[in-house]
Amino acid sequence: MWTGSDCPDEEALLSHVFSLLTPGKGLLVLDGPKWFQHRKLLTPAFHSDVLKPYLDLFVESTKDMLNKWDKKIQKDKCVNIFPDVGHMALDSLMKCIFGRSSNSQTQSDIIYYDAIRELTLLMQQRLAAFQYHSDFYFWFTLHGWKFLQACKVAHDYTDKVIRARKAALKEEEEREKIQGKKRLDFLDILLGPGDESNTKLSDADLRAEVDTFMFEGHDTTTSGISWFLYCMALYPEHQQLCCEEVQDILGNRDTIQWEDLGKMTYLTMCIKESFRLYPPVPQVYRQLSKPVTFMDGKSLPEGSLVSLHIYALHRNPAVWDKPEVFDPQRFSPENSSTRHPYAFIPFSARPRNCIGQQFAMTEMKAVIAICLLHFEFSLEPSRPAIKRLQLVLGSKNGIYLNLKKLT
């Protein structure tokens, strides 16, 4: 964790990146009354009644990915799972919260996905290279040019999504379908009449929210699912137990019902343990709006930029016994109840916690259950186990696993 008002301008850089991505501000970087208004407006889009019908869509997109793997392993059993999981996560996000009806992903989904990967990589490289911190210098470099190109691709894609939904809303039939819905989905809410005080989002705010949810909604679950499968390959004994649990719950079914999710107790413990070791959001940033004094009497002034390192917190030996060991029993009800609630915060905590937490957990359980029913995952001996957290793992190094189809 680093703190201080004179720390390198990392926070400023990050918010700058977000402001480049969006002329308005999305939930993640908003603050004050506007953040509260957006959060209140969008919270109902993540109610469990809205999430329930998404289960079939998660399963559908997962099966498309498994078909892809089926073909790939005919040639080589070692597959880089990361981009395939990423395409699947974007595909299900498009169908769930952006209401796309088509069954398969389009070429522009793939182009968008690649642009986001490139932006993430370029952002990491910019943070790491001191000379790139200056805007003036950065925009005249090849990196800066590539960054702007990738931003344009991402914006064109989100604009297309908004235009398509606005056009659909002009159709009488579509309007009636939305009015008849028990619960509105994310885009219905964004394009609808606003909250009870009829405060409607401006076009810039609307685009910022679509950008934010498009990015947050697939990038995080991609990491979560990929790292989980990596953990299963590293620890086959836990893979076996998860697989048996899923088989017991689903029997001969290849579909998942809402009630099944609550029964996946061992799988959930393993997901939490993989979140502990490989948190998809490894650190969060805050700027202090007032001075803070800690228990030891030390204090930080107003305006300090604070980075809370979730990755380090989750491996703190003062809290976690043998922190490097994968042990799902840490998350048994008995063990969880003895720990401080903020010792484990993959979705952050308090009012600024993740709004998509339940969406993410529903997606992860459904996708992982179907994957484990159909494939066994193991490490490729020629590729050493990944030892270090790699923030831009997908685009840079990938996660290569051996896949074996289960009959």
Can you say which residues are annotated as belonging to the binding site?
354
Helix (H, G, I), strand (E, B) or coil at 80: strand
Could you tell me the smallest distance in angstroms from the CB atom of residue 73 to ligand HEM?
Answer: 27
Residues forming the annotated binding site for heme? 354
Interatomic CA distance for residues 127 and 282, integer angstroms: 15
Name which of 77 and 326 has its Cβ closer to ligand HEM.
326
Residue in this structure with the two tokens 């799902």, named with its chain if needed: 328
Helix 142-170 / helix 203-234 crossing angle, nearest 10 deg: 110
Interatomic CA distance for residues 253 and 256, integer angstroms: 8
Name which of 86 and 224 has its Cβ closer to ligand HEM.
224
Could you tell me the smallest distance in angstroms from the CB atom of residue 353 to ligand HEM?
Answer: 6
Helix (H, G, I), strand (E, B) or coil at 308: strand
Could you tell me the smallest distance in angstroms from the CB atom of residue 205 to ligand HEM?
Answer: 13
Element (H, E) at 400: strand 400-405
The answer to whether 149 and 175 have CB atoms below 8 angstroms apart is no
Could you tell me the smallest distance in angstroms from the CB atom of residue 42 to ligand HEM?
Answer: 8
Interatomic CA distance for residues 22 and 154, integer angstroms: 10
Name which of 83 and 280 has its Cβ closer to ligand HEM.
280
Name which of 97 and 269 has its Cβ closer to ligand HEM.
97
Interatomic CA distance for residues 274 and 326, integer angstroms: 8
Could you tell me the smallest distance in angstroms from the CB atom of residue 349 to ligand HEM?
Answer: 9
Q: What residues make contact with ligand HEM under the rule CB under 6 A?
A: 27-28, 39, 97, 212-213, 216-217, 220-221, 224, 280-281, 284, 346-348, 352, 354-356, 359-360
Name which of 221 and 402 has its Cβ closer to ligand HEM.
221
Name which of 34 and 146 has its Cβ closer to ligand HEM.
34
Residue in this structure with the two tokens 């200056």, named with its chain if needed: 134
Query: Where does residue 340 rank: exposed (0-12), middle (13-18), buried (19+ CB within 10 A)?
Result: exposed
Could you tell me the smallest distance in angstroms from the CB atom of residue 223 to ligand HEM?
Answer: 7
